[in-house]
A = this chain, B = another copy of it.
Amino acid sequence: MSRYNLTLLTDLYELTMMQGYYENNTNETVVFDVFYRNNPSGGAYAIAAGLDQIIDYIKNLRFEAEDIEYLRSTGIFQESFLAYLADFSFSGDIYAIPEGTVVFPKEPLLKVIAPIMEAQLVETAILNIINHQSLIATKASRVVYAAGGGVMEFGLRRAQGPDAGTYGARAAVIAGCVGTSNVLAGKLFNIPIKGTHAHSWIMSFKTELEAFRNYARLYPDNCLLLVDTYDTLKSGVPHAIQVFTEMKEAGLPKPSVYGIRLDSGDLAYLSKKARKMLDAAGFTDAVISASSDLDEYLIESLRSQGAQITSWGVGTNLITSKDCPAFGGVYKLAAVQGPDGKFIPKIKVSENIEKVTDPGNKTIFRIYDKETGKIRGDLIALADETYDSQQSLIIFDPIATWKRTYLEGGSYTIRELLVPIFMGGQCVYTSPCVMDIQTYCQKELNTLWDESRRLANPQTVYVDLSRPLWELKNQLLDNIHNFKDKK
């Protein structure tokens, strides 16, 4: 896809630090982890998304002449460093969890192993992309869960700019939306586009009936009529029934999709009344779709009230993740390569125990119950650890260490979540198409126990540290405290 160059989509401090490393002649290889600390919207999980755009960004990293010229104009950068930038390309390794995967707090969703100057430059854009798309995918999965399917993404006009509407639509479809109103997203990502018509269509004709007839004549095979412009039950629904009857009497083939859209009023009441009217007229398979400031909670409430809605157009609340509009992904230094090629683990301490980072070059193992296929827990481990699911395994909570889970050999399966994306600067991964990611994501969501998917008070999924990682972390913390005590 053609796109303006995103190389300068970075915080200024990445560039000033890069220049610092350049001037100091220090460019050791380091490991940075992307992870987040809290699930959005009070849920028990998130959906990883955005990797394909990160790949695109890394592949196209290149300072154009006009970028160099701009940087020169700021007066902050030396010519020698600008010459370095003019030749810059990414030479490192990137590992990531594939898009559509269910993920949990503290797990490295993406890992950069690269000379520090390169690793630093890419921080901001990687976070921007992963934070946005994972946020919207997670929100969309909640809305789709509440609706039981049939959710259309309709939020472009309220999204935070063109990209938010377009990549947001992509993320929404990954997480299970059946389509989007955004035509550009449809073109760029080959995802289904959906829509009906607006109130202005009705208002531009002399009568509602004339507007409906015209729409039905033009779109006889996909005919959803918006019924709330004047009076839903007294005017909209009767006129829609009249038009469906006329189509039938004219001997037209049965439409693939036909029915009504409610966009205001008491959706529970109106949908039940409309259902009865449609059924009484013989249109038992007419769809009732609704749109009107919907979110997962309102949809859950409407369904529990017996609303007769099977198709949901969700806009603002989904495309902005309104109740939680930011995904708190961070990018933290985990290790620095020593002269002998070995990684020296690094830890960032904090007064807040939750903010102490996990040191070292790591990976993630996911453990499934063999019988049900559901997730038993995740194990953040050092990258060189291996596990054999025929062996018994005890995993334990990294803080409340007496909380243990015993996994009998043969009763579980295990898989590593991080896969290589770039090796030595070369992309070694091909993203699946969005609809294949959607299928994969559906399978991923099915690996969650129902108790972890529900909207209210979902059950936390265990994310433990492997014994070697836990020991390393404690040893580093001990060293820091001993050092402080000695001072």
Q: Which of A56-85 contact B (CB under 8 A)?
A: 66-67, 70-71, 74, 76
The contact of A184 among B6, B158, B164, B201, by CB within 8 Å, is B6
Complex Cα spacing A168 to B164, Å: 12
Most chain B CB neighbours (cut-off 10 Å) among A127, A201, A219: A201
Whether the Cβ atoms of B183 and A12 lie closer than 8 Å is yes
Whether the Cβ atoms of A333 and B131 lie closer than 8 Å is no
Q: Evaluate whether A265 and B351 lie within 8 angstroms (CB atoms) in the complex, with A12-B183, A129-B161 already known.
A: yes
Closest to A70 in B: B187
The contact of A162 among B125, B320, B332, B348, by CB within 8 Å, is B125
Q: Which of A121-155 contact B (CB under 8 A)?
A: 123-125, 127-129, 131-133, 135-136, 154
Complex Cα spacing A66 to B393, Å: 55
Complex Cα spacing A10 to B181, Å: 8
Closest to A231 in B: B484
Whether the Cβ atoms of B10 and A183 lie closer than 8 Å is yes
Whether the Cβ atoms of A161 and B158 lie closer than 8 Å is no
Does chain B have a CB within 8 A of A390?
no
Q: Evaluate whether A16 and B157 lie within 8 angstroms (CB atoms) in the complex, with A4-B4, A326-B322 already known.
A: no
Q: Evaluate whether A204 and B125 lie within 8 angstroms (CB atoms) in the complex, with A12-B181, A20-B218 already known.
A: no
CB neighbours of A70 from chain B (8 A): 186-187
Complex Cα spacing A167 to B327, Å: 19
Stretch at the interface among A191-199, A302-310, A373-381, A413-421: A191-199
Does chain B have a CB within 8 A of A425?
no
A196 to chain B, nearest CB (A): 6
The contact of A159 among B132, B133, B230, B346, by CB within 8 Å, is B132
Q: Evaluate whether A218 and B19 lie within 8 angstroms (CB atoms) in the complex, with A4-B1, A124-B156 already known.
A: yes
CB neighbours of A127 from chain B (8 A): 157-158
Does chain B have a CB within 8 A of A100?
no
Does chain B have a CB within 8 A of A246?
no
Whether the Cβ atoms of B15 and A183 lie closer than 8 Å is yes
Complex Cα spacing A331 to B469, Å: 56
CB neighbours of A311 from chain B (8 A): none
Does chain B have a CB within 8 A of A383?
no
Stretch at the interface among A23-31, A237-245, A361-369, A444-452: A23-31
Complex Cα spacing A345 to B348, Å: 64
Does chain B have a CB within 8 A of A328?
yes
Complex Cα spacing A326 to B230, Å: 27
A480 to chain B, nearest CB (A): 9
Does chain B have a CB within 8 A of A13?
yes
* Interface size of A in residues (CB-CB distance below 8 Å): 101
Does chain B have a CB within 8 A of A120?
yes
A154 to chain B, nearest CB (A): 7
Closest to A21 in B: B204
Complex Cα spacing A162 to B168, Å: 12
Does chain B have a CB within 8 A of A401?
no
Q: Which of A427-456 contact B (CB under 8 A)?
A: none
Q: Which of A191-240 contact B (CB under 8 A)?
A: 193-201, 203-204, 214-215, 218-219, 222, 229-230
Complex Cα spacing A295 to B44, Å: 27
Whether the Cβ atoms of A128 and B156 lie closer than 8 Å is yes
Q: List 17 A-B contacts (CB under 8 A).
A: A6-B162, A12-B181, A12-B186, A13-B181, A70-B186, A70-B187, A160-B160, A160-B161, A160-B163, A161-B161, A161-B163, A161-B167, A203-B333, A203-B348, A204-B336, A264-B350, A325-B325
Residues of A within 8 A of B (CB): 1-4, 6, 8-17, 19-21, 23-24, 26, 28, 30, 32, 66-67, 70-71, 74, 76, 116, 120, 123-125, 127-129, 131-133, 135-136, 154, 156-168, 181-184, 186-187, 193-201, 203-204, 214-215, 218-219, 222, 229-230, 264-265, 316, 320-322, 325-329, 331-333, 336, 346, 348-351
| Closest 9 pairs (CB-CB, A-B) | A12-B195, A13-B195, A161-B163, A163-B163, A127-B157, A325-B325, A8-B184, A11-B181, A160-B164
